[in-house]
Amino acid sequence: MDSSDSITIVRDRISTLLRQESATPAPRDVVVLAVDGLSYAFAADCWTGAAQISRLRSVFPTTSSAGWLSSLTGLDVARHLVPGVVFSDPEGSDELINVFDYRGRDLTPARETVFTDARRLGYRPSAVLGDMETYGGSWRDALLRDAEPVLGHRFYTQDEGTYRERDPRLLVDLVRDALGRTLAAPGEGPRLVWCYIELDRHIHHFGYDRHAARFLAGVEELAQELADAGTVVLAHADHGLTPTRRDPDLTELIETLARRNGFRMGGAGRTRWLYPEPGTADGVAVELRAKLPESVRVARSEELFPEGVRRRIGELVLIAEGDAFLVDHGYRYEHGSLTDAELDTPYAAWGI
Ligand SMILES: [Zn+2]
């Protein structure tokens, strides 16, 4: 049995801390490091000096768009209605949207974030967009609502296109510079500074390796420096990643079935959904179960999602349960499904 709290508790944990601080004569600044793609097990190995580190359970599907929105709004997927990356147009057209490009109304009913809470408590909330500068649209607007955006600090997304590994110490220095400048910007009152770091880009290609360990060690040194100077530092993540290799036969089989049966595919990573033509889902499911390897679970969407979410995803869902699935070229680690490596994420604190 797993008794971990969901990542939806992050908003409340941060707001509770801000409330406690705001009741003191000199509320401290609070920095929140948002590290995309960080698993609990790896964080616990690297952050041995944290005053607290606990395990939180991510949401399903274990994607960035669903995870970050769950943490910062406190709503689960059934309530914020963003199930992943590619899904039906919220405005009702026949198109599928990509959530990171989508600009439109009705993406999510979420209207408040941890930054809304911070303002109410007398804090000045800023969001260092960091590697989120590459994503625009309504999703980011909903996620960062009520935060002052801070631009000009990218870490893992400095190169367009192919990912290139950089010296982890230089990356930590970039984070230090971004936080230092944001904390030192003129203005009255205590600050909440949230900073997005897309470590996920590295993990997709190389996994939890020496680079990642050195980067996290440097992040902990930085957190300790800030804590020593009187700032509270928190860190959280959206999901971890699990080893995944591309299965070329599976890729070809799904393409062939999609062509023959005329279905489209949405989702991302290790969980995809199919939009069969009306009345054909049962037949497509039978064919998929007969032809796909046992390591791919074929489910009906009603087994997995409540009605509001089902309107956005297809009738059939494919979930990777083994290490072979559909994977982008060059990727060795993926997320989106239900392994512990993907679901378990850290919540850590320094200077608390
Ligand atoms: Zn992510």
CATH numbers and ranges of domains, the chain: 5-241+336-350 (3.40.720.10), 245-326 (3.30.1360.180)
Task: Compute the distance between CA of residue 101 and CA of residue 89 in angstroms, rounded to an integer.
Answer: 12
In whole angstroms, what is the distance from residue 165 CA to residue 173 CA?
15
Q: Say if CB 238 and CB 198 are below 8 A apart.
A: no
Give the global pTM: 0.97
200 CA distance to ligand 1 centroid (A)? Answer: 6
Ion ligand 1 nearby residues (CB, 5 A)? 36, 64, 200, 238
Instruction: Give tens-digit pLDDT for 54-89.
Output: 999 999 999 999 999 999 999 999 999 999 999 999
Q: Closest Cα to residue 119, out of 192, 60, 24, 208? A: 192
Specify whether the CB–CB gap between 347 and 234 falls below 8 A: yes
- CA angle (234 as vertex; 230, 239 as ends), nearest 5: 165
> pLDDT digits over 259-296, tens only?
999 999 999 999 999 999 999 999 999 999 999 999 99
Burial class of residue 147 (count of CB atoms within 10 Å of its CB; 0-12, 13-18, 19+): buried
Distance 239 CA to ligand 1 centre (A): 6
238 Cα–ligand 1 center, Å: 5
Q: Rounded to the nearest 10 degrees, what angle do helices 210-228 and 168-184 cross at?
A: 30
Distance from residue 192's CA to the centre of ligand 1 (Å): 22
Return the beta strands (E) in 158-203 as ranges: 191-197
- Spacing, Cα 67 to ligand 1 middle (Å): 7
Residues contacting residue 1 through CB under 8 Å, at least 6 positions apart: none
Q: Using 50, 70 and 90 to split pLDDT, how confident is the model at 3?
A: low
Q: What is the CA radius of gyration of the chain?
A: 20
| Each residue's pLDDT tens digit, 39-59 | 999 999 999 999 999 999 999
